[in-house]
Amino acid sequence: MSHADIYTVLRKPLVTEKTTFQKEDDNQISFQVRSDANKIEIRRAVEKLLDVKVSAVNTMVYRGKSKRLGRTMGKRANWKKAVVTLAPGEEVEFFEAIENLDELESPEE
């Protein structure tokens, strides 16, 4: 699987309060993925991109909401979410660099 294939399967990581707790407590990472991607493709993409061992992949499809703008009705796009459970002992350092920035003090003038 090439890098282009990985980035077409995995659209973006989902960073919310809930996914942050899942990462800390259950060792799970969430991604927005391509709508037609299956669990095997998602597993291979995460293992290759992050160099970790994946124990499980759960997927769910979010249906787009109907939205109204003036008189016209519209609909947001449907999208697919993948929750990837890492094997015990595996760790992904997404935000450790950001947490280290909080420890640094800005230079005073």
pLDDT tens, residue by residue, 35-72: 999 999 999 999 999 999 999 999 999 999 999 999 99
Alpha carbon distances (Å) from 108 to 18, 102, 103: 36, 16, 15
| Residue of 78 and 104 predicted with greater confidence | 78
pLDDT at position 96 is: 59
Structural domains in the chain plus CATH codes: 3-103 (3.30.70.330)
12, 34 Cβ separation under 8 angstroms: no
Q: What is the pLDDT of residues 69-91, one digit of tens each?
A: 999 999 999 999 999 999 999 88
pLDDT at position 99 is: 54
Torsion of CA 18, 39, 81, 72, to 10 degrees: -170
pLDDT at position 56 is: 97
- Backbone φ and ψ of 37, nearest 5°: -75, 140
Give this prediction's pTM: 0.80
